[in-house]
Amino acid sequence: MITHHYFDLDAEVVFDVCENHIDDLAKTINKIIEELNKKKGQERNLKDKEDE
């Protein structure tokens, strides 16, 4: 995790993460988005039922 010590960042480490782990990060972000969309849809369905 990149926090607080911004001036201590090692450019080689950042580059390695970007080169070798970006696909894993993208997959994780996509899963999070899917889960959020599911919850949003479920909440919308519950609200629609309450409005009936």
46: containing domain: 6-51
Burial class (CB in 10 A: 0-12, 13-18, 19+), 4: exposed
- Across residues 9-25, what is the average pLDDT? 90
Specify if 1 maps to a domain: no
Number of domains in the chain: 1
CB 43 within 8 A of CB 36: no
30 or 47, which is more confident?
A: 30
State the average pLDDT over residues 19-46. 90
Mean pLDDT taken over the chain: 84
More confident residue, 1 or 43: 43
Would you state the pLDDT for residue 42?
81
Answer yes or no: is 14 within a domain: yes
Residue 12 has pLDDT above 60, yes or no: yes
